[in-house]
Amino acid sequence: MAGELLLELQAVSHVFADGSRGLDDCSLGIRRGSRNALLGANGSGKTTLLLHLNGLLQPSAGCIRIDGCPLDYGRSGLAALRRRVGLVFQNPERQLFSASVFEDVSFGPLNLGLDEAGVRARVAQALAAVGMAEQAERPVHHLSFGQKKRVCIAGVLAMQPELLLLDEPMAGLDPGMQDELLRILDGLSARGISIVLATHDVDFAYRWADEIHLLAAGRCTASFAAVHLPQQAAALHAAGQPLPAVVALHQALVARDVLPARPVPCGLPQLLALLATPAAEEDTMNDTACVRQRSAA
């Protein structure tokens, strides 16, 4: 589970050149080793927030801290930040620019000044982590959309970051590709890499994340453990988000005395398991079952 704060936004605002606000007095914390979902509608500030966490944008007001210290926006400070915090854009075409997979993934390690052996070792490890080891010599333009996303993740992983940021990573992926990406993220999380991803899918956020941060109009309106989401209906509504479908269905079944109020399932497999569980066994279950099974949902 998550430990101490790795990154923290303190009352951060960002005003663009046209006068529009991307962030407005936004505060939240990212704990080391945690899986975080930035949940909000389009235009709520999710992408703008990610760009601040990676130092691509600077606050107009407020402060961002890493390990308790304000970010250093000098050249060396930003280079150090981006070695620790990697960003994967929603559209892989924005991130891929080399001819082959190997060349693209090796770009970051080469800029670190590593020798050839060190670069090759990092590239091999990163490609293996995303299941693309056998595609190293393929031209980038021959890859599918899902493969391009995995190469983007590999390019970030080759920098060996502590924190991985992903902007709408499931966008454009079919269900099979989404399952593949989830397995990759679960593997990275198991290695201790902190993850923050932006999404507008409340069902996915509920079953995947440890921590959920609600965004609306550029502000973090609430942060809470994902297991507590069923008790956050008012906060979700205020941010324009519904309850996850599995929670709404569970509540309907509780109202009809089909299931007990606890535990609350975090996904359809857990709900089906509850329906198949004898009442005597249900009494022994608790919410930790959802936490244990969250990544498998």
Number of structural domains, the chain?
A: 2
Which portions of the chain are predicted below pLDDT 70? 1-3, 278-297
Q: Nearest 5°: CA angle at 228, between 226 and 229? A: 70
Q: Are residues 37 and 89 in the same domain?
A: yes
Query: Are residue 70 and residue 174 in the same domain, yes or no?
Result: yes
Instruction: Look at residue 166 in the predicted model and tell me its pLDDT.
Output: 94
Residue span of the structural domain in which 271 resides: 245-296
d(Cα 228, Cα 224) in Å, to the nearest integer? 7
Domain boundary among 196, 214, 238: 238
- Asked if residue 115 and residue 28 are part of one domain, the reply reads yes
Report the Cα 167 to chain-centroid distance in Å.
8
User: Which DSSP helix (H) or strand (E) runs through 195?
Assistant: strand 194-199
206 three-state secondary structure: helix
Q: Which pLDDT value is given to residue 291? A: 47
Separation in Å, CA 73 to CA 161, 162, 224 = 18, 19, 30
Q: Are 24 and 140 contained in the same domain?
A: yes
Query: What's residue 10's pLDDT?
Result: 97
Domain end marker among 218, 238, 258: 238
Question: How high is the pLDDT of residue 3?
Answer: 62
**Cα–Cα dist 96/81, whole Å:** 21
Residues 155 and 267 in one domain: no
In a shared domain, residues 50 and 153: yes
Please check whether residues 50 and 122 belong to one and the same domain: yes
Q: What is the pLDDT of residue 212?
A: 97
- Return the CATH number at 98: 3.40.50.300
**Whether residue 35 sits in one domain with residue 16:** yes
Strand pairing report for 194-199 and 163-167: parallel
DSSP 8-state code for residue 60: S
3-class DSSP assignment, residue 168 = coil
Domain co-membership, 97 together with 145: yes
Q: Which residues pair with 164 in a beta bridge?
A: 86, 195
- Tell me if 246 sits within 8 A of 205, measured CB to CB: no
| Same domain membership, residue 249 and residue 176 | no
Whole-number pLDDT of residue 1 = 41
Specify the pLDDT at position 134. 87
Same domain, 33 and 122: yes
Question: Do residues 39 and 117 share a domain?
Answer: yes
Tens digit of each residue's pLDDT (9 = 90 or more) over 64-80: 999 999 999 999 999 99
